[in-house]
Protein backbone atom coordinates (compact mmCIF):
# COMPACT_ATOMS: atom_id res chain seq x y z
CA UNK A 1 0.00 0.00 0.00
CA UNK A 2 2.83 2.38 0.94
CA UNK A 3 4.52 1.86 -2.44
CA UNK A 4 1.28 2.39 -4.39
CA UNK A 5 0.62 5.52 -2.40
CA UNK A 6 4.05 6.89 -3.18
CA UNK A 7 3.70 6.13 -6.91
CA UNK A 8 0.48 8.15 -7.20
CA UNK A 9 2.00 11.09 -5.35
CA UNK A 10 5.16 10.89 -7.40
CA UNK A 11 3.13 11.09 -10.62
CA UNK A 12 1.86 14.46 -9.38
CA UNK A 13 5.40 15.58 -8.58
CA UNK A 14 6.57 14.60 -12.06
CA UNK A 15 3.74 16.57 -13.68
CA UNK A 16 4.44 19.66 -11.58
CA UNK A 17 8.17 19.60 -12.20
CA UNK A 18 7.61 18.56 -15.81
CA UNK A 19 9.81 15.49 -15.60
CA UNK A 20 13.00 17.39 -14.99
CA UNK A 21 14.84 18.98 -12.14
CA UNK A 22 13.90 16.32 -9.59
CA UNK A 23 15.79 15.07 -7.76
CA UNK A 24 18.17 17.98 -7.55
CA UNK A 25 20.39 19.33 -4.85
CA UNK A 26 19.30 22.30 -2.77
CA UNK A 27 20.65 25.75 -3.57
CA UNK A 28 21.04 26.65 0.10
CA UNK A 29 22.23 24.97 3.28
CA UNK A 30 19.38 26.42 5.29
CA UNK A 31 15.97 27.85 4.56
CA UNK A 32 12.78 28.84 6.27
CA UNK A 33 9.11 29.18 5.39
CA UNK A 34 5.98 30.51 7.05
CA UNK A 35 2.39 29.56 6.29
CA UNK A 36 -0.73 30.81 8.05
CA UNK A 37 -3.48 28.50 9.21
CA UNK A 38 -7.00 28.59 7.82
CA UNK A 39 -10.47 27.95 9.17
CA UNK A 40 -13.11 26.55 6.83
CA UNK A 41 -16.47 28.32 6.52
CA UNK A 42 -17.60 25.48 4.27
CA UNK A 43 -15.83 22.32 5.39
CA UNK A 44 -13.77 19.68 3.63
CA UNK A 45 -15.03 16.35 4.99
CA UNK A 46 -14.39 13.20 2.97
CA UNK A 47 -12.05 12.10 0.20
CA UNK A 48 -12.59 10.66 -3.21
CA UNK A 49 -8.92 9.66 -3.30
CA UNK A 50 -7.06 8.99 -0.07
CA UNK A 51 -3.60 8.63 -1.64
CA UNK A 52 -3.40 12.16 -3.01
CA UNK A 53 -6.01 13.83 -0.78
CA UNK A 54 -8.70 14.53 -3.36
CA UNK A 55 -11.89 15.74 -1.69
CA UNK A 56 -15.48 14.70 -2.36
CA UNK A 57 -16.52 18.36 -2.37
CA UNK A 58 -15.06 21.81 -2.75
CA UNK A 59 -14.57 23.89 0.41
CA UNK A 60 -13.98 27.50 1.39
CA UNK A 61 -11.85 28.96 4.15
CA UNK A 62 -10.54 32.16 5.62
CA UNK A 63 -6.88 32.48 6.55
CA UNK A 64 -5.74 33.66 9.97
CA UNK A 65 -3.07 36.28 9.28
CA UNK A 66 0.13 35.77 11.30
CA UNK A 67 -1.21 32.64 13.02
CA UNK A 68 0.48 29.56 11.72
CA UNK A 69 3.67 27.66 11.35
CA UNK A 70 7.31 28.55 10.68
CA UNK A 71 9.55 25.74 9.46
CA UNK A 72 13.34 26.04 9.49
CA UNK A 73 15.40 23.51 7.55
CA UNK A 74 19.09 22.66 7.77
CA UNK A 75 21.19 19.71 6.67
CA UNK A 76 21.39 16.74 9.06
CA UNK A 77 24.69 14.90 8.86
CA UNK A 78 23.95 11.83 10.98
CA UNK A 79 21.87 9.81 8.52
CA UNK A 80 18.36 10.60 9.68
CA UNK A 81 15.77 13.36 9.78
CA UNK A 82 15.22 15.19 13.04
CA UNK A 83 12.01 17.00 13.83
CA UNK A 84 11.53 19.51 16.61
CA UNK A 85 8.08 20.97 17.23
CA UNK A 86 7.83 24.02 19.47
CA UNK A 87 11.19 23.16 21.03
CA UNK A 88 10.40 19.50 21.70
CA UNK A 89 11.95 16.60 19.83
CA UNK A 90 9.39 14.51 17.95
CA UNK A 91 9.90 10.75 18.40
CA UNK A 92 10.69 8.91 15.20
CA UNK A 93 7.87 6.38 15.66
CA UNK A 94 5.13 9.00 16.09
CA UNK A 95 2.45 9.68 13.48
CA UNK A 96 3.68 13.26 13.16
CA UNK A 97 7.23 12.13 12.38
CA UNK A 98 6.16 9.43 9.93
CA UNK A 99 3.79 11.72 8.00
CA UNK A 100 6.39 14.47 7.76
CA UNK A 101 9.16 12.10 6.63
CA UNK A 102 6.79 10.47 4.12
CA UNK A 103 6.17 13.90 2.63
CA UNK A 104 9.86 14.71 2.57
CA UNK A 105 10.53 11.45 0.71
CA UNK A 106 8.77 12.95 -2.31
CA UNK A 107 11.46 15.59 -2.66
CA UNK A 108 14.61 13.87 -1.38
CA UNK A 109 17.41 14.17 -3.96
CA UNK A 110 19.28 11.14 -2.53
CA UNK A 111 18.22 8.49 -0.06
CA UNK A 112 21.05 9.48 2.31
CA UNK A 113 20.05 13.16 2.30
CA UNK A 114 18.45 14.26 5.57
CA UNK A 115 17.18 17.37 7.27
CA UNK A 116 16.78 18.99 10.64
CA UNK A 117 13.21 20.26 10.62
CA UNK A 118 12.45 22.83 13.26
CA UNK A 119 8.77 23.77 13.38
CA UNK A 120 7.31 26.55 15.48
CA UNK A 121 3.55 27.00 15.65
CA UNK A 122 1.83 29.88 17.37
CA UNK A 123 -1.47 27.98 17.57
CA UNK A 124 -2.44 24.98 19.75
CA UNK A 125 -1.29 21.79 17.99
CA UNK A 126 -3.93 19.18 17.03
CA UNK A 127 -6.81 20.89 18.78
CA UNK A 128 -8.89 21.45 15.66
CA UNK A 129 -7.01 24.60 14.71
CA UNK A 130 -5.69 23.29 11.40
CA UNK A 131 -2.13 22.67 12.54
CA UNK A 132 -1.58 20.14 9.75
CA UNK A 133 -2.71 22.72 7.17
CA UNK A 134 -0.16 25.36 8.13
CA UNK A 135 2.42 22.71 9.10
CA UNK A 136 2.61 21.11 5.66
CA UNK A 137 2.27 24.43 3.83
CA UNK A 138 5.14 25.94 5.83
CA UNK A 139 7.31 22.86 5.23
CA UNK A 140 6.59 23.20 1.53
CA UNK A 141 7.48 26.92 1.51
CA UNK A 142 10.72 26.11 3.34
CA UNK A 143 11.57 23.40 0.79
CA UNK A 144 10.75 25.81 -2.04
CA UNK A 145 13.23 28.29 -0.57
CA UNK A 146 15.84 25.59 0.05
CA UNK A 147 15.70 24.26 -3.51
CA UNK A 148 14.75 27.61 -5.09
CA UNK A 149 11.93 26.01 -7.07
CA UNK A 150 10.28 28.29 -9.59
CA UNK A 151 6.68 27.29 -8.97
CA UNK A 152 3.51 29.34 -8.98
CA UNK A 153 1.00 29.33 -6.13
CA UNK A 154 -1.39 26.97 -7.86
CA UNK A 155 1.40 24.41 -8.22
CA UNK A 156 2.39 24.95 -4.58
CA UNK A 157 -1.24 24.44 -3.57
CA UNK A 158 -1.31 21.05 -5.34
CA UNK A 159 1.96 20.03 -3.67
CA UNK A 160 0.71 21.17 -0.25
CA UNK A 161 -2.44 19.07 -0.74
CA UNK A 162 -0.28 15.94 -0.96
CA UNK A 163 0.76 16.55 2.66
CA UNK A 164 -2.66 17.44 4.03
CA UNK A 165 -5.82 18.34 2.14
CA UNK A 166 -6.54 21.58 3.95
CA UNK A 167 -2.90 22.71 3.46
CA UNK A 168 -3.76 23.59 -0.16
CA UNK A 169 -5.82 26.53 1.19
CA UNK A 170 -2.98 27.84 3.40
CA UNK A 171 -1.09 29.24 0.41
CA UNK A 172 -3.03 32.53 0.37
CA UNK A 173 -4.40 35.09 2.79
CA UNK A 174 -8.07 36.01 2.91
CA UNK A 175 -10.89 33.84 1.60
CA UNK A 176 -9.79 30.78 -0.37
CA UNK A 177 -11.87 28.25 -2.26
CA UNK A 178 -10.48 24.76 -2.75
CA UNK A 179 -11.90 23.38 -5.98
CA UNK A 180 -12.60 19.67 -5.61
CA UNK A 181 -11.82 19.00 -9.27
CA UNK A 182 -12.89 15.92 -11.17
CA UNK A 183 -9.63 14.58 -12.59
CA UNK A 184 -8.15 11.34 -11.26
CA UNK A 185 -4.66 12.86 -11.14
CA UNK A 186 -5.90 15.82 -9.07
CA UNK A 187 -4.34 18.46 -11.28
CA UNK A 188 -7.60 20.44 -11.10
CA UNK A 189 -7.85 20.20 -7.30
CA UNK A 190 -6.25 23.31 -5.80
CA UNK A 191 -6.96 26.48 -3.87
CA UNK A 192 -7.96 29.78 -5.42
CA UNK A 193 -8.01 33.12 -3.60
CA UNK A 194 -11.27 35.09 -3.60
CA UNK A 195 -10.26 38.69 -3.39
CA UNK A 196 -12.83 40.02 -0.93
CA UNK A 197 -11.44 42.17 1.88
CA UNK A 198 -13.51 42.40 5.03
CA UNK A 199 -11.97 44.80 7.54
CA UNK A 200 -13.84 44.48 10.81
CA UNK A 201 -14.39 40.74 10.51
CA UNK A 202 -12.99 39.09 13.61
CA UNK A 203 -12.43 35.51 14.72
CA UNK A 204 -12.37 34.46 18.35
CA UNK A 205 -11.00 31.17 19.59
CA UNK A 206 -12.80 29.59 22.51
CA UNK A 207 -10.51 26.85 23.74
CA UNK A 208 -12.37 24.15 25.61
CA UNK A 209 -9.56 21.65 25.70
CA UNK A 210 -6.23 21.93 23.93
CA UNK A 211 -5.25 18.30 24.44
CA UNK A 212 -4.67 15.93 21.55
CA UNK A 213 -7.94 14.72 20.06
CA UNK A 214 -9.14 11.11 20.49
CA UNK A 215 -9.43 10.42 16.74
CA UNK A 216 -7.52 12.18 13.96
CA UNK A 217 -9.53 14.10 11.38
CA UNK A 218 -8.01 11.88 8.69
CA UNK A 219 -9.41 8.75 10.31
CA UNK A 220 -12.67 10.44 11.28
CA UNK A 221 -13.49 11.64 7.78
CA UNK A 222 -12.82 8.20 6.34
CA UNK A 223 -15.07 6.52 8.90
CA UNK A 224 -17.78 9.07 8.07
CA UNK A 225 -17.57 8.34 4.33
CA UNK A 226 -17.60 4.59 5.01
CA UNK A 227 -20.37 4.38 7.59
CA UNK A 228 -22.50 7.53 7.94
CA UNK A 229 -26.04 7.18 6.61
CA UNK A 230 -26.20 11.00 6.41
CA UNK A 231 -23.11 11.35 4.23
CA UNK A 232 -25.09 11.15 0.96
CA UNK A 233 -26.68 14.49 1.93
CA UNK A 234 -23.32 16.17 2.55
CA UNK A 235 -22.31 17.05 -1.05
CA UNK A 236 -25.75 18.63 -1.60
CA UNK A 237 -25.40 20.68 1.57
CA UNK A 238 -21.91 21.83 0.54
CA UNK A 239 -23.05 22.87 -2.95
CA UNK A 240 -25.81 25.02 -1.44
CA UNK A 241 -23.61 26.50 1.27
CA UNK A 242 -20.79 27.34 -1.11
CA UNK A 243 -23.12 29.23 -3.36
CA UNK A 244 -24.68 31.12 -0.43
CA UNK A 245 -21.28 31.94 1.07
CA UNK A 246 -20.00 33.34 -2.23
CA UNK A 247 -23.18 35.39 -2.61
CA UNK A 248 -22.80 36.71 0.94
CA UNK A 249 -19.22 37.78 0.13
CA UNK A 250 -20.46 39.65 -2.94
CA UNK A 251 -23.20 41.51 -1.03
CA UNK A 252 -21.17 41.61 2.20
CA UNK A 253 -23.77 40.09 4.46
CA UNK A 254 -22.15 39.11 7.75
CA UNK A 255 -25.12 37.16 9.08
CA UNK A 256 -25.57 35.24 5.83
CA UNK A 257 -21.86 34.40 5.64
CA UNK A 258 -21.42 33.28 9.21
CA UNK A 259 -24.89 31.79 9.65
CA UNK A 260 -24.16 29.54 6.68
CA UNK A 261 -20.77 28.64 8.12
CA UNK A 262 -22.39 27.68 11.45
CA UNK A 263 -25.02 25.57 9.74
CA UNK A 264 -22.34 23.89 7.61
CA UNK A 265 -20.26 22.95 10.66
CA UNK A 266 -23.32 21.54 12.47
CA UNK A 267 -24.19 19.44 9.42
CA UNK A 268 -20.62 18.11 9.22
CA UNK A 269 -20.76 17.05 12.87
CA UNK A 270 -24.17 15.45 12.25
CA UNK A 271 -22.58 13.21 9.60
CA UNK A 272 -19.95 12.25 12.19
CA UNK A 273 -22.49 11.50 14.91
CA UNK A 274 -24.29 9.17 12.53
CA UNK A 275 -21.09 7.23 11.81
CA UNK A 276 -20.41 3.95 13.53
CA UNK A 277 -18.56 3.77 15.83
CA UNK A 278 -19.81 7.29 16.36
CA UNK A 279 -17.47 10.26 16.22
CA UNK A 280 -18.27 12.92 18.78
CA UNK A 281 -15.96 15.91 19.09
CA UNK A 282 -18.42 17.66 21.41
CA UNK A 283 -17.55 18.01 25.05
CA UNK A 284 -20.16 19.23 27.54
CA UNK A 285 -18.40 22.63 27.52
CA UNK A 286 -18.71 22.78 23.72
CA UNK A 287 -22.49 22.38 23.90
CA UNK A 288 -22.72 24.88 26.75
CA UNK A 289 -20.86 27.44 24.64
CA UNK A 290 -23.19 26.84 21.69
CA UNK A 291 -26.21 27.57 23.86
CA UNK A 292 -24.54 30.68 25.19
CA UNK A 293 -23.89 31.85 21.63
CA UNK A 294 -27.49 31.15 20.51
CA UNK A 295 -28.73 32.97 23.59
CA UNK A 296 -26.60 36.03 22.88
CA UNK A 297 -27.84 35.98 19.29
CA UNK A 298 -31.46 35.89 20.45
CA UNK A 299 -30.63 39.04 22.37
CA UNK A 300 -29.36 40.75 19.25
CA UNK A 301 -25.61 40.13 19.25
CA UNK A 302 -24.34 39.09 15.81
CA UNK A 303 -22.12 36.19 16.74
CA UNK A 304 -21.73 32.81 15.03
CA UNK A 305 -19.57 29.76 15.58
CA UNK A 306 -17.82 27.08 13.62
CA UNK A 307 -16.24 23.88 14.88
CA UNK A 308 -13.65 21.59 13.34
CA UNK A 309 -12.33 18.19 14.35
CA UNK A 310 -11.99 19.07 18.01
CA UNK A 311 -14.06 20.38 20.92
CA UNK A 312 -13.05 24.04 20.56
CA UNK A 313 -15.24 26.66 18.94
CA UNK A 314 -14.21 29.53 16.74
CA UNK A 315 -16.62 32.42 16.73
CA UNK A 316 -17.11 35.13 14.16
CA UNK A 317 -18.18 38.64 15.08
CA UNK A 318 -17.63 42.25 14.06
CA UNK A 319 -14.96 44.48 15.52
CA UNK A 320 -17.55 46.93 16.86
CA UNK A 321 -18.85 44.20 19.19
CA UNK A 322 -15.46 43.13 20.52
CA UNK A 323 -15.85 44.65 23.97
CA UNK A 324 -19.19 42.99 24.48
CA UNK A 325 -17.92 39.63 23.24
CA UNK A 326 -14.87 39.80 25.50
CA UNK A 327 -17.08 40.53 28.48
CA UNK A 328 -19.03 37.31 27.81
CA UNK A 329 -15.99 35.18 26.97
CA UNK A 330 -13.13 36.38 29.18
CA UNK A 331 -10.65 33.72 27.96
CA UNK A 332 -11.25 34.33 24.26
CA UNK A 333 -8.30 34.79 21.89
CA UNK A 334 -9.27 37.47 19.38
CA UNK A 335 -7.80 37.47 15.86
CA UNK A 336 -8.69 40.19 13.34
CA UNK A 337 -8.99 38.45 9.94
CA UNK A 338 -8.11 41.42 7.76
CA UNK A 339 -5.26 43.42 9.18
CA UNK A 340 -5.46 47.05 8.15
C1 LIG B 1 -11.55 21.68 6.99
N2 LIG B 1 -10.89 19.74 8.42
O3 LIG B 1 -12.14 21.98 5.95
C4 LIG B 1 -11.95 20.38 7.68
C5 LIG B 1 -13.04 20.61 8.67
C6 LIG B 1 -11.30 19.41 9.75
C7 LIG B 1 -12.71 19.76 9.85
O8 LIG B 1 -9.48 19.77 6.72
O9 LIG B 1 -6.30 13.85 5.71
O10 LIG B 1 -5.93 17.59 8.18
O11 LIG B 1 -4.58 15.65 5.86
O12 LIG B 1 -6.35 15.74 4.10
O13 LIG B 1 -6.71 18.49 5.96
C14 LIG B 1 -8.76 18.56 8.54
O15 LIG B 1 -8.33 17.57 7.64
O16 LIG B 1 -6.96 16.06 6.50
C17 LIG B 1 -9.74 19.39 7.83
P18 LIG B 1 -5.99 15.29 5.49
P19 LIG B 1 -6.87 17.52 7.06
O20 LIG B 1 -10.71 22.45 7.51
Contact 245, 261 (CB under 8 A): yes
CA of 218 to the centre of ligand 1 (A): 7
Higher pLDDT, 283 or 19: 283
Atom 12, ligand 1: which residue's CA is nearest? Answer: 165
Cβ atoms within 10 Å, residue 235: 14
Contact 332, 204 (CB under 8 A): yes
Residues with CB under 6 A from ligand 1: 40, 43-45, 53, 59, 130, 132-133, 164-166, 217-218, 308-309
Q: What is the pLDDT of residue 116?
A: 98
Q: What does DSSP say about strands 313-318 and 201-206: parallel, antiparallel, or unpaired?
A: antiparallel
CA of 167 to the centre of ligand 1 (A): 8
Q: What does DSSP say about strands 114-121 and 82-85: parallel, antiparallel, or unpaired?
A: parallel
Q: What is the pLDDT of residue 335?
A: 92
**Nearest-5° angle of CA 162, CA 165, CA 170?**
100
Alpha carbon 176 to its chain centroid, in Å, reads 11
Pick the atom of ligand 1 nearest to 38's CA: 20
List pLDDT tens digits, range 42-91.
Answer: 999 999 999 999 999 999 999 999 899 999 999 999 999 999 999 999 99
Cβ atoms within 10 Å, residue 338: 18
CA of 329 to the centre of ligand 1 (A): 27
List pLDDT tens digits, range 23-49.
Answer: 678 888 999 999 999 999 999 999 999
Pick the atom of ligand 1 nearest to 166's CA: 13
CA of 221 to the centre of ligand 1 (A): 8
Cβ atoms within 10 Å, residue 148: 11
Phi, psi of 50 (to 5 degrees): -80, -25
Mean pLDDT of 260-271: 98
Q: What is the largest CA-CA distance in the chain?
A: 63
Alpha carbon 32 to its chain centroid, in Å, reads 20
Contact 206, 28 (CB under 8 A): no
Taking all residues of the chain, what is their mean pLDDT, rounded to a whole number? Answer: 93
List pLDDT tens digits, range 108-133.
Answer: 999 999 999 999 999 865 455 668 99
Whole-structure pTM value? 0.96
Q: What is the pLDDT of residue 1?
A: 42
Distant-in-sequence, close-in-space partners of 208: CB < 8 Å, separation ≥ 6: 283, 285, 286, 289, 311, 312, 313
Amino acid sequence: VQVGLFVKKYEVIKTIFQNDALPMMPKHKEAEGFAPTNIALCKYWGKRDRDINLPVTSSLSVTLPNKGSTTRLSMAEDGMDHIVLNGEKILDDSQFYLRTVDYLNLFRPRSNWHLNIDITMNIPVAAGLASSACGFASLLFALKNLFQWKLNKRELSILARLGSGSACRSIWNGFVEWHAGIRADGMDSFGEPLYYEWPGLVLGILTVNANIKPISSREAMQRTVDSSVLYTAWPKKVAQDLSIIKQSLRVRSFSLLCGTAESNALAMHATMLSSWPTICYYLPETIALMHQIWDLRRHGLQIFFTQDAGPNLKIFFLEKDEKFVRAHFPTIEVIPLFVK
